[in-house]
Amino acid sequence: MAREIPDSDRLSDVELDDSIGRSTPDIEHERAVAIFDLVENNRFHPVADDGCGPYRLKLAIVQSRLVLDISRDDGDAVVKHILSLTPFRRIVKDYFLICESYYAAIRNATPSQIEAIDMGRRGLHNEGSQTLMDRLAGKVEVDFDTARRLFTLICVLHWRG
């Protein structure tokens, strides 16, 4: 059974700033699913805050940096963190390449080949999630599952269609 997360330690909403361009309907759908999954189940607490969540997260991309603008549900600003996307470039690029291989393999590879590619895909996803947790350390406390969902969203933000 999943541990109940108090409202003070979670996100209630995630919004994408207009700085994040719109894309094809398929990619917009993937973004919406990533946001839904993140809001549905997360552990998120800004380190410098007194625990008066739940929180709203607005994501923006400014000069190749990810901006996390965190506020309370009532709109009161909490903190803004700016993360360089440079540490994620290689992981995201490799992740996209292995995802392409995975989708191609689904069409004609054996189940064991598909499983091997999927294990590599999950490994890269875990690496990206851990990198995100490391970059958020001392700024925002998240559990690994929340980091995975945030990393998924970061990846989806890079899809151009």
Distance CA 124, CA 116 (A): 13
Question: What's the one-letter identity of residue 73?
Answer: D
Predicted confidence at residue 4, as pLDDT, reads 59
Distance CA 4, CA 43 (A): 10
Predicted confidence at residue 102, as pLDDT, reads 87
Q: What is the mean pLDDT of the chain?
A: 88
Q: Which two tokens stand for residue 148?
A: 């995975």
83 pLDDT above the threshold of 50: yes
Predicted confidence at residue 53, as pLDDT, reads 85
Predicted confidence at residue 52, as pLDDT, reads 80
Look at residues 13, 34, 10, 9 and name the one whose alpha carbon lies nearest to residue 158. 34
Predicted confidence at residue 71, as pLDDT, reads 95
63 φ/ψ sector (left φ>0, alpha ψ -120 to 50, else beta): left
The string of pLDDT tens digits covering residues 95-118 is 888 888 888 898 999 999 999 999
Predicted confidence at residue 137, as pLDDT, reads 97
The string of pLDDT tens digits covering residues 25-43 is 877 887 888 899 999 999 9
* pTM greater than 0.75 (yes/no): yes
